[in-house]
C-alpha cells in the first residue's frame, strides 16, 4: 500500500510539472505573438549626420487628452495628442514623444518640458517606472499657427526595458514646467510591441 507521504510527494511533483507546463505555454504564446506584431521600421542603418548606427521605429498614437472644461470648445478634436516611438542609437534606447497641443495658449498653460524632467509610467499592475528627459522642448508653433509641438526624449535603462517589455501600461505622468499631469494610455501595449520589434531587428542582424 502506498504511504500518505508518497502520495503527497507525487501530488507535489505533479503540481510542479503542471505549473512548469503552464509557464512554458505562456512563454510560447508570448513569443508567437511577438513574431506576429507588424513592425514599421523608419530607419535601420548608419545616420549620415552623426555617423552612428540608428534604429527608429514608426510612431504610434500613445494617448489623447482633453480636460472636460474645454471639450465643448474643441468640438470633435482633442486638446493634446501624443505619438511615441522607440529609437536606438548605438547601444542606447530611448522613447521619443511628439506632443501636439491644439491651442495658441499652450506655452502659457503648460510651459515647457525641461531636460532632466520626469515622466512616470504606471504599469497595469500598479508598479511605477520613472524616466528622465534628456531632450526637452519649449514648444514649437506649427506652420498654420494653430498648435504647438513638443518633441521630447526619455532614456530607457536595461531594467526599464525588461519591465516595459512584459507589462501593459495604464497611464503616464509628464512633468511640465507649469506642473505635473497624468494621462490615460490609448495603446497600452505600446512598449511591449515596439520593444519586440526592436528585438526582431537585432535578431535579423548577421553575427
Average pLDDT of the chain? 85
The 10 Å CB-count burial string (b at 16+, else e) for 141-177 is eeeeeebbebbbbbebeeebbebbbebebbebebbbe
Question: In the CATH scheme, what is the code of domain 41-203?
Answer: 2.60.40
* Of the listed ranges 6-10, 96-100, 121-125, the one predicted with least confidence: 6-10
Contact predicate 152/132, CB 8 Å: no
Beta-bridge mates of residue 53: 46
Mean of pLDDT values over 22-40: 51
| 3 state DSSP class of 64 | strand
CA 59, CA 109: separation in Å to the nearest integer? 26
Q: Rounded to two decimals, what is the model's pTM?
A: 0.79
pLDDT of 24 > 50? The answer is no
pLDDT at position 201: 86
Mean pLDDT of 169-197: 97
Nearest Cα to Cα of residue 67 among 38, 37, 110: 110
Q: Length of the chain, please? A: 207
- The CA R_g of the chain, rounded to the nearest whole Å, is 22
151 vs 31, higher pLDDT: 151
Confidence of residue 75 (pLDDT cuts 50, 70, 90): low
Average pLDDT over residues 38-49: 90
Amino acid at each position: 500500500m502506498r504511504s500518505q507521504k508518497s502520495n503527497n510527494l507525487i501530488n507535489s511533483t505533479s503540481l510542479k510539472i503542471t505549473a512548469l507546463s503552464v509557464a512554458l505555454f505562456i512563454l510560447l504564446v508570448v513569443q508567437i505573438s511577438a513574431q506576429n506584431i507588424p513592425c514599421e521600421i523608419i530607419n535601420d542603418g548608419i545616420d549620415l549626420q552623426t555617423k552612428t548606427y540608428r534604429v527608429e521605429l514608426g510612431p504610434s498614437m500613445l494617448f489623447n487628452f482633453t480636460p472636460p472644461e474645454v471639450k465643448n470648445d474643441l468640438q470633435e478634436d482633442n486638446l493634446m495628442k501624443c505619438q511615441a516611438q522607440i529609437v536606438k542609437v548605438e547601444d542606447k534606447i530611448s522613447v521619443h514623444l511628439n506632443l501636439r497641443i491644439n491651442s495658441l495658449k499652450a506655452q502659457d498653460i503648460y510651459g515647457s518640458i525641461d531636460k532632466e524632467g520626469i515622466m512616470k509610467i504606471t504599469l497595469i499592475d500598479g508598479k511605477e517606472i520613472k524616466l528622465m528627459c534628456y531632450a526637452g522642448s519649449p514648444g514649437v508653433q506649427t506652420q498654420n499657427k494653430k498648435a504647438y509641438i513638443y518633441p521630447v526624449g526619455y532614456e530607457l535603462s536595461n531594467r526599464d526595458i525588461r519591465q516595459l517589455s512584459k507589462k501593459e501600461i495604464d497611464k503616464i505622468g509628464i512633468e511640465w514646467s507649469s506642473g505635473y499631469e497624468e494621462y490615460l494610455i490609448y495603446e497600452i501595449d505600446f512598449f511591449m510591441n515596439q520593444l519586440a520589434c526592436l528585438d526582431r531587428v537585432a535578431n535579423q542582424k548577421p553575427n
